[in-house]
């Protein structure tokens, strides 16, 4: 068991490295060298190439028949964290005011955490050092985080979690509604005043023959209308509207199914699926890496026949975490809250969410993980799994929400979500140090 001082240093060291790498992206963004457009391009490179390469290589080497059963606990714990985050957001909205344009976004902030850049950076550094087993445990940790990332992508995109962000921008703004009500009250008052004055004038002035003729003509026209014709037209219009509604609903279902199927074939999910299969099937795994009782003959250079594929994916994957942290720094640099809006911010909701995700959620994380250990759902000897699952409970809101808010917002701004994310990323270094130190203490 390491000493307390060693545990604290082991906990702080990876966070310092992560903060420095994130600070590089933050600084370059503020200097105008690495702006949001560059970060979006790099984000596509990460999603389409670097992350798939990293996750494929680590799934091949990290997942074996001995630890494949850990996929279930990772998925279950990730979903439980999502559920607790949603409940936490509900409690916050019950007791604190939240802006109208963030009334659903706060649920997304509570549910979806950063299960990508931050856990990868910290786990790679922590598991590479004692008391973990070095590169072997690092590969396993990345494979476990890959499963959590897959759950995140499925819930966010395949099953419509992003619709929480879209729903914030449906309908008029609440302030406009209040203003329209005031205008309507003012309009109604003025209309009544004008009507009363016109009635008094009408008593004094005789009705003209032209007006009488118009009234009689209107009465004659109303009488000429056949009620049966009106009913027939109403039935026809209602039938057409019902058919159009059913057709629109069917088209929406088809689009949802199509979008879900397409999301399942994204590079990350495909790379993880192929890596998982090749990692579990020994003849396929032997094509990429050496394994005991290797049934596949080596290439002339003494390496497995397809070792060059593994070398390429490892080479590309090594750039994923540094570039991801730099993009995170750029995203944080873009989070701006105008000073004129500081007094109007929902301070209670902002700090409640930050404290809930960074300090309260880890308590539930430890209780859930250790509870699963006691009932045998999690192997007590799989220390990497226990550490990864506990750490996943203390990460802040995913910066993906900022990008999605900018996409769906009519003005392209994300001021509300920025106000909620900034305190979390400022406090996470403190909370993560505490959680990492405590996790190492109870695991080892």
pLDDT, tens digit, 9 for 90 and up, residues 20-46: 999 999 999 999 998 878 888 888 899
- Pick from 59-63, 78-82, 319-323 the range whose average pLDDT is largest: 78-82
pLDDT digits (tens, 9 = 90+) for 187-229: 445 544 654 565 455 444 444 444 444 444 444 444 444 555 5
Neighbour tally for 301: CB within 10 Å: 8
Task: Confirm if 343 and 420 have CB atoms less than 8 A apart.
Answer: no
d(CA 378, CA 231): 67
d(CA 402, CA 400): 5
Encoding tokens for residue 142?
A: 């990345």
For residue 320, is it within any domain? yes
For residue 247, is it within any domain? no
For residue 233, is it within any domain? no
d(CA 250, CA 44): 32
End-to-end CA distance of the chain: 6
User: What total number of domains does the chain contain?
Assistant: 1
pLDDT for 252 equals: 76
Return the beta strands (E) in 18-132 as ranges.
none
**Nearby residues of 359 by Cβ (< 8 Å), 6 or more positions away:** 431
Q: Is 40 exposed, middle or buried (0-12, 13-18, 19+ CB in 10 A)?
A: middle
Encoding tokens for residue 215?
A: 């009234």
pLDDT for 1 equals: 57
Mean pLDDT along residues 310-317: 95
Domain that holds residue 67: 4-170+261-443
Residue whose C-alpha is closest to residue 112's, from 405, 345, 439 = 405
For residue 39, is it within any domain? yes
**pTM (two decimals):** 0.79
Instruction: Give the CA distances from residue 396 to residues 5, 40, 241, 373, in Å, rounded to whole numbers and listed in that order.
Output: 26, 21, 46, 25
For residue 24, is it within any domain? yes
Task: Confirm if 112 and 38 have CB atoms less than 8 A apart.
Answer: no
Instruction: Give the CA distances from residue 267 to residues 117, 143, 317, in Å, rounded to whole numbers and listed in that order.
Output: 17, 16, 14
Q: What's 384's domain CATH number?
A: 1.20.1530.20
Among 235-244, 283-292, 330-339, 354-363, the range scoring the smallest mean pLDDT is: 235-244
Helices and strands, number each (H, E), in the chain: 20, 0
d(CA 274, CA 63): 12
Among 161-175, 197-211, 311-325, 380-394, the range scoring the smallest mean pLDDT is: 197-211
Mean pLDDT along residues 331-354: 84
d(CA 89, CA 91): 5
Return the beta strands (E) in 17-128 as ranges.
none
For residue 185, is it within any domain? no
pLDDT digits (tens, 9 = 90+) for 136-180: 999 999 999 999 998 998 899 888 899 999 999 876 666 544 443
For residue 229, is it within any domain? no
For residue 85, is it within any domain? yes
């Amino acid at each position: 068991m390491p000493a307390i001082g060693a545990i604290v240093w082991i906990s702080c060291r990876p966070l310092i490295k992560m903060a420095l790498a994130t600070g590089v992206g933050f600084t370059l963004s503020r200097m105008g060298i690495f702006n949001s457009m560059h970060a979006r391009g790099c984000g596509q490179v990460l999603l389409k190439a670097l992350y798939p390469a990293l996750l494929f290589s680590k799934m091949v080497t990290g997942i074996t028949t001995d630890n494949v059963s850990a996929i279930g606990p990772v998925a279950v714990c990730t979903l439980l964290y999502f559920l607790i985050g949603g409940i936490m957001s509900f409690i916050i909205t019950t007791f604190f005011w939240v802006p109208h344009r963030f009334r659903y976004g706060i649920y997304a902030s509570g549910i979806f955490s950063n299960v990508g850049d931050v856990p990868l950076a910290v786990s790679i550094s922590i598991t590479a050092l004692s008391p973990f087993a070095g590169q072997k445990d690092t590969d396993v940790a990345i494979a476990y985080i890959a499963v959590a990332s897959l759950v995140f992508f499925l819930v966010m995109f395949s099953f419509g979690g992003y619709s929480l962000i879209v729903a914030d921008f449906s309908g008029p703004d609440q302030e406009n509604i209040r203003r329209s009500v005031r205008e309507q009250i003012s309009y109604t008052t003025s209309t009544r005043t004008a009507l009363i004055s016109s009635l008094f004038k009408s008593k004094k002035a005789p009705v003209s023959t032209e007006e009488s003729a118009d009234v009689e003509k209107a009465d004659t026209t109303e009488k000429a209308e056949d009620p049966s014709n009106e009913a027939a037209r109403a039935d026809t219009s209602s039938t057409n509207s019902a058919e159009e509604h059913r057709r629109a609903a069917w088209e929406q279902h088809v689009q949802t199914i199509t979008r879900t199927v397409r999301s399942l074939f994204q590079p990350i999910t495909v790379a993880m699926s192929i890596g998982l299969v090749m990692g579990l099937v020994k003849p396929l795994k032997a094509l990429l890496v050496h394994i005991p009782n290797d049934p596949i003959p080596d290439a002339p250079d003494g390496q497995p026949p397809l070792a060059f594929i593994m070398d390429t994916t490892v080479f590309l994957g090594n750039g994923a975490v540094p570039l991801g942290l730099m993009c995170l720094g750029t995203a944080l640099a873009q989070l701006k809250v105008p000073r004129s809006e500081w007094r109007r911010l929902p301070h209670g909701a902002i700090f409640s969410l930050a404290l809930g995700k960074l300090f309260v959620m880890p308590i539930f994380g430890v209780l859930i993980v250790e509870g699963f250990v006691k009932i045998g759902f999690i192997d007590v000897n799989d220390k990497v799994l226990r550490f990864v699952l506990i750490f996943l409970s203390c990460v802040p809101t995913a910066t993906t929400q900022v990008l999605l808010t900018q996409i769906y917002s009519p003005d392209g701004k994300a001021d509300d979500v920025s106000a909620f994310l900034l305190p979390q990323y400022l406090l996470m270094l403190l909370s993560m140090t505490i959680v990492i130190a405590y996790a190492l203490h109870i695991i080892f």
